[in-house]
Structure 1
Amino acid sequence: MTGIVIEDNEILLLDQDTDSTRSWSLPGGKVEEGETLAEALVREMREETGVEVEVGRLLYLCDNVKAHVVHVTFEARRIGGEVGTVTEGADTRPIRQVAYVKLDDLPGLGFSETFVKLCQEDFPGAGSYMGPKSAIGL
């Protein structure tokens, strides 16, 4: 599960090792036993970015068949916290940096034009199954 926080045409991202060629990714993680999706996203965002969020609408569902993963991505709105106050050891892959990145700069960090367009257009078709992860340009 991941969260997308966009403020002033910038998106909140993490710089850490991933399973792809990109080192920058959306914050998020796994749901722990006894958590709702919303509770897990609030916890993951706090642990990985230092940001306190309010969970918004479901943006998309997509899958990565090879990895046996279903991605559930929500819109999130920052309501507090301090960007970059990462909880040490909360993630198995060390987080090097947390930053707001201009949407126009995403292609230079390995994000596709498809994903940038979805962000810029406020995720048309929000709440739907988008198919494979590649369909959203990730």
Structure 2
Amino acid sequence: MSSLLQVRVTGVIVEEGRILLVKQRVSADRAWSLPGGRVEQGETLEAAIVRELEEETGLSTEVVKLLYLCDKPDASPSLLHITFLLRRTGGEFRLPSNEFDANPIADVVMIPIQELEAYGFSAQFAALVRDGFPNAGSYQGLKRNIGL
């Protein structure tokens, strides 16, 4: 059984009161998300999020710290979701090629944190970002516990 658990990493970049988002259909209610993706076989979590950010946004980054670890057991296969705070170290914004992606990214933007709800994010997640990620580095249980 090779698909008992899927590991997904996402990255948060906050600069001057703005947060990085990618336009990619998440659900019927939300068309924007944090950049990230699946961890590949043999890849560390850090390498995975740095690779995903470069592939999806064109930015070079480094991990600052672990923000949250969450579960999504109702996904198929079950999902372990790991969110990191990142720092931009270089690169330029660009769209990915999307050549192998069934859910392509249509835009990459930095938006004011106070506009997160207008982009389909929950008030709960927006508050976590505004408050500087209280309880960073902790296990939060179900993914919905952080409003995602």
TM exceeds 0.5? yes
The answer as to 2:51 corresponding to 1:43 is yes
Identity of aligned residues (%): 48
Q: 1:81 aligns with which of 86, 91, 114?
A: 91
The answer as to 2:125 corresponding to 1:119 is no
Cα separation, partners in 2 of 1:90 and 1:52, compared to 1, 3 Å: farther
Distance 1:77 1:90 in 2: 27
In the superposition, the TM-score normalised over structure 2's length comes to 0.88
Q: Which stretch shifts more, 11-20 or 103-112?
A: 11-20
Identify unmatched segments of 5+ residues in structure 2: 1-8
Q: 1:27 aligns with which of 35, 40, 50?
A: 35
Cα separation, partners in 2 of 1:16 and 1:128, compared to 1, 3 Å: same
Distance 1:20 1:80 in 2: 33
- Give the number of aligned pairs: 138
RMSD: 1.3
Identify unmatched segments of 5+ residues in structure 1: none
Q: Which runs of 4+ in 1 moved over 3 A?
A: none
In the superposition, the TM-score normalised over structure 1's length comes to 0.94
Matches within 5 A, 1:95-114: 95-114=105-124
**In 1, are the aligned partners of 2:95 and 2:106 still within 8 Å (CA)?**
no
